[in-house]
């Protein structure tokens, strides 16, 4: 009994699934009356994976195939289809509406045939396929009235009258049906770039192979050498390549791979994506192209020949150098603890203090003697660390240099050696050198990589001078906030006469009260001197020793011409403590240079432009012309004319 029941259930399932399959098949055969032409072909268009176009309206058949969401042309050539052109065709067909329709058997009753409507040998025959299932539409001649055409439906039993725009859409020019895009690997997917560049300099025409790969987000060269690549430049190059467009397609009758240089290309560009790659073969210049130069090109394993703009590929000729990372010193300034700069036994040490992140001191040593440490200027130190961390190569001299190369480029007698020490980890050493007779070039190498780089000589040496005063703190003196300047005096040392001498008479009198009584401009210049005494900023240090005259060189000195004296009241205890600040100055040496000295701080230095201008206005005794004072210009005295020359007597001339 149980066996019979099982057989009954099995038979019932077979009948049920058979009925479902039958109904599904019947559902695909849409009757004209239940949806018209669009109802008969709409579903097939949505699921179509192949479209074929045949007929006397085309020179050659066209076949388009879909893989995933991407359409490609497989006949008469292999190429990706234009996404927008294909969508326009599909939309026109999907929403195609008939003006009228009539059965085929009716025209046969009147003695007519499909040939009378151009449908026996149609202008176009459209085949829409999904796997092995296909439907076909035939497009015939134009109607006598209206801008319409006859179309034979997919069941071959009904003729429809439709707008002729369907023909225009299907007969789109092949060049418009093909996409202009060359690479279809998206930018975000690219993980490697390969180049094979034919070298014209070698006798055998061998090729240089360049390969870049992205690992952990960073680009690097894997061939012809192992080196870092500039990520921004590589990304920009890949963006340019993936955005490259076809200039024009070369028709079959014009194609000549040998003549067009595609059998022995000058360059092959390979873009690697996720388990796929595309290679573009670049040949000779197209001499018939007007405008920007273009190369003949083709994709590997695709016979279609086309042209591309030459500029992006010309830029790749020197890719192994152009795309290299030029920042060759990498460190975190925050972790830096010391910087040692040396040359021929002379050393300067810049050392971070524990009092603060921006607190540094500078020490210089000559042999066994150590000079007193000075506070380093935070702005100078920040600029030095920034300059070192962004030092860029202007060229690449030698990869994997030999001892002979090191000697040839002067590294046996370096111009500078800079050692960076860190709170943790190994130090980093930068060595700068140049050949003995070369006064223009400068080369660099580090102990991080075995390369010799070329760098800009002037700017590089200027950023790391072997000069202790350069690194000193530019703030020579700062008065406490509670300090009070009670007197200010500027003296002409050549005459011994004061240029001005002001003293505050009482504690409740302020400098503003005195300056208001002076001429506006003079008061502003004296205010600059008061501000300078309160916080003295040095433009640059010249000597770490004071002298009674400024020693320009071993044979020449300049006398101090002016002295600025300030009396300072410092509150504390029962009475104020009095101190004095004195600074001496030369005359102005140029529009931007004036030298000063401080015996108290044992140094000679250049002053800031603001102080220089104020001193000049207060000390300049040059008489101004009447025009500058808005006075009348006196009439110049008359100059007597020179008497005419007299002829020399002949006998005197002999």
What DSSP letter does each residue of 561-606 carry, written as one string? -EEEEEEEEE--SSS-EEEEEEEEE----SSS--EEEETTTTEEEE
Domain membership of residue 653 (yes or no) is no
Q: Is 366 helix (H, G, I), strand (E, B) or coil?
A: strand
Q: What is the CA radius of gyration of the chain?
A: 45
Examine residue 3 and state whether it is found in any structural domain, yes or no. no
The CA distance from 600 to 54, in Å, is 101
Report the candidate in 212, 207, 210, 251 with the shortest Cα–Cα distance to residue 235. Answer: 212
Q: Are residues 342 and 417 in the same domain?
A: yes
| Whether residue 48 is found in the same domain as residue 77 | yes
Burial class (CB in 10 A: 0-12, 13-18, 19+), 62: buried
What pLDDT score was predicted for residue 200? 65
544 to 384, 604, 612: CA distances (angstroms): 21, 7, 21
Same domain membership, residue 169 and residue 33: yes
Q: What is the mean pLDDT of residues 593-602?
A: 95
What phi and psi, each to the nearest 5 degrees, are found at residue 267?
-155, 145
Lowest-pLDDT choice from 317-321, 350-354, 573-577: 573-577
Tell me, yes or no, whether 648 lies in a domain. no
The answer to whether the CB of 152 falls within 8 A of the CB of 138 is: yes
- Is 349:340 a contact under the CB 8 Å cutoff? yes
d(Cα 324, Cα 219) in Å, to the nearest integer?
10
- Looking at residue 472, what DSSP letter applies? B
Is 163 a member of any domain? yes
Residue 68 has pLDDT above 70, yes or no: yes
Domain of 377, in residue numbers: 333-471
pLDDT digits (tens, 9 = 90+) for 446-459: 998 889 999 999 99
171 and 302 both lie in a single domain: no
pLDDT of the residue at 324: 93
Residue 597, domain CATH: 2.60.40
Asked if residue 120 belongs to a domain, the reply is: yes
pLDDT at 27: 38
Least confidently predicted of 4-13, 86-95, 126-135, 496-505: 4-13
Q: Are residues 426 and 513 in the same domain?
A: no
Out of 444, 471, 498, pick the residue that ends a domain.
471
- Asked which of 48-52, 76-80, 594-598, 626-630 is least confident by mean pLDDT, the reply is 626-630
Q: What is the mean pLDDT of the chain?
A: 85
Instruction: Give the pLDDT score at 20.
Output: 55
Among the three residues 158, 177, 196, which one is the final residue of a domain in this structure? 177
How many domains does the structure of the chain reveal?
4
Task: Kindly state whether residues 128 and 32 are assigned to the same domain.
Answer: yes
Contact in structure between 498 and 456 (CB atoms under 8 Å): no
Q: Is the peptide bond before 224 cis (omega within 30 degrees of 0)?
A: yes
Among the listed ranges 11-20, 505-514, 568-577, 608-617, which one has the minimum average pLDDT value? 11-20
DSSP letter assigned to residue 639: P
Q: Look at residue 372 and tell me whether its pLDDT is greater than 70.
A: yes
Task: Give the integer Cα–Cα distance in Å for 306 and 298.
Answer: 6
For residues 287 and 370, state if they share a domain: no
Domain final residue, candidates 322, 353, 388: 322
Q: How far is it, in rounded angstroms, from Cα 132 to Cα 93? A: 21
CATH of the domain at 64: 3.30.1490
Q: Indicate whether 102 belongs to any domain.
A: yes
Confidence (pLDDT) at 26 = 42
Q: Which tens digit of pLDDT belongs to each residue from 159-213?
A: 888 888 777 777 777 777 788 889 989 999 999 999 999 876 554 567 899 999 9
Note whether residue 640 is domain-resident. no
| Region of poorest pLDDT, from 237-251, 412-426, 528-542, 613-627 | 613-627
User: Is 1 a member of any domain?
Assistant: no
272-275 — which CB contacts under 8 Å span 24+ positions? 272/185, 272/190, 272/191, 272/192, 272/193, 272/194, 273/185, 273/186, 273/189, 273/190, 273/191, 274/189, 274/191
Q: Please check whether residues 384 and 396 belong to one and the same domain.
A: yes
**φ, ψ for residue 395 (rounded to 5)?**
-165, 170
* Same-domain check for residues 449 and 481: no
Do 159 and 215 belong to one domain? no
Residues 171 and 36 in one domain: yes
459 and 481 share one domain: no
Does the pLDDT of residue 554 top 90, yes or no?
no
d(CA 88, CA 82): 10
């Amino acid at each position: 009994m149980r066996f019979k029941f099982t057989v009954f259930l099995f038979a019932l399932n077979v009948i049920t699934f058979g009925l479902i399959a039958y109904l599904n098949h019947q559902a695909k055969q849409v009757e004209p009356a239940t949806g018209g032409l669009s109802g008969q072909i709409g579903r097939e268009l949505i699921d179509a994976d192949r479209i074929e176009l045949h007929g006397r309206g085309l020179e050659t058949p066209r076949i388009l195939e879909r893989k995933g969401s991407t359409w490609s042309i497989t006949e008469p050539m292999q190429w990706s289809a234009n996404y927008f052109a294909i969508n326009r065709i599909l939309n026109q067909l999907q929403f195609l509406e008939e003006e009228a329709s009539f059965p085929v058997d009716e025209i046969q009753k009147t003695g007519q045939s499909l040939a009378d409507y151009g449908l026996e040998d149609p202008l176009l025959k459209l085949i829409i396929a999904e796997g092995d299932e296909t439907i076909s539409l035939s497009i015939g001649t134009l109607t006598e009235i209206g801008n319409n055409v006859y179309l034979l439906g997919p069941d071959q039993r009904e003729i429809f009258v439709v707008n002729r725009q369907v023909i225009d859409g299907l007969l789109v020019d092949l060049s418009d049906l093909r996409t202009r895009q060359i690479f279809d690997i998206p930018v975000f997917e690219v993980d490697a770039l390969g180049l094979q560049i034919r070298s014209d300099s070698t006798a055998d025409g061998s090729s240089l192979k360049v390969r870049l790969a992205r690992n952990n987000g960073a680009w690097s060269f894997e061939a012809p050498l192992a080196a870092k690549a500039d990520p921004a430049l590589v990304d920009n190059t890949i963006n340019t390549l993936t955005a490259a467009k076809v200039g024009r397609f070369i028709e079959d009758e014009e194609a000549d791979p040998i003549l067009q240089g595609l059998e022995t290309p000058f360059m092959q560009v390979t873009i690697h994506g996720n388990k796929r790659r595309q290679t573009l073969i670049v040949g000779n210049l197209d001499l018939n192209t007007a405008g920007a130069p273009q190369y003949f090109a083709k994709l590997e394993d695709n016979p279609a020949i086309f042209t591309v703009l030459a500029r992006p590929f010309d830029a790749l000729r020197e890719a192994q150098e152009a795309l290299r990372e030029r920042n060759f010193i990498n460190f975190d300034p925050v972790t830096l603890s010391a910087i040692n700069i040396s040359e021929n036994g002379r050393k300067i040490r810049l050392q971070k203090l524990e009092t603060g992140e921006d607190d540094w001191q500078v020490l210089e040593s000559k042999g066994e003697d150590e000079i007193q440490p000075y506070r380093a200027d935070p702005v100078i130190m920040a600029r030095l660390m920034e300059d070192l961390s962004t030092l860029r190569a202007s060229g690449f001299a030698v990869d994997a240099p030999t001892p002979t190369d090191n000697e040839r480029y002067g590294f046996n007698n370096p111009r500078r050696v800079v050692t960076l020490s860190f709170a943790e980890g190994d130090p980093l050493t930068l060595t700068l050198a140049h050949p003995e007779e070369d006064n223009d070039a400068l080369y660099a190498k580090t102990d991080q990589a075995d390369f010799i780089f070329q760098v800009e000589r002037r700017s590089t040496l200027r950023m790391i001078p072997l000069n202790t005063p350069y690194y000193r703190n530019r703030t020579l003196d700062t008065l406490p906030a509670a300090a009070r300047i009670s007197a200010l005096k500027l003296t002409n040392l050549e005459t011994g006469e004061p240029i001005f001498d002001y003293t505050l008479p009482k504690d409740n009198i302020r400098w503003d009260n005195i300056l208001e009584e002076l001429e506006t401009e003079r008061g502003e210049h004296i205010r600059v001197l008061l501000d300078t005494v309160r916080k003295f900023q040095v433009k640059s240090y010249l000597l770490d020793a004071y002298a009674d005259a400024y020693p320009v060189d071993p044979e020449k000195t300049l006398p101090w011409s002016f002295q600025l004296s300030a009396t300072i009241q410092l509150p504390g205890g029962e009475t104020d403590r009095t101190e004095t600040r004195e600074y001496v100055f030369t005359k102005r040496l140029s529009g931007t240079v004036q030298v000063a000295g401080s015996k108290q701080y044992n140094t000679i230095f250049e002053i800031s432009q603001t102080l220089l201008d104020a001193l000049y206005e207060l000390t300049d005794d040059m008489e101004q012309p009447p025009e500058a004072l808005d006075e009348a210009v006196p009439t110049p005295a008359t100059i007597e004319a020179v008497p005419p020359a007299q002829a020399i007597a002949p006998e005197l001339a002999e």
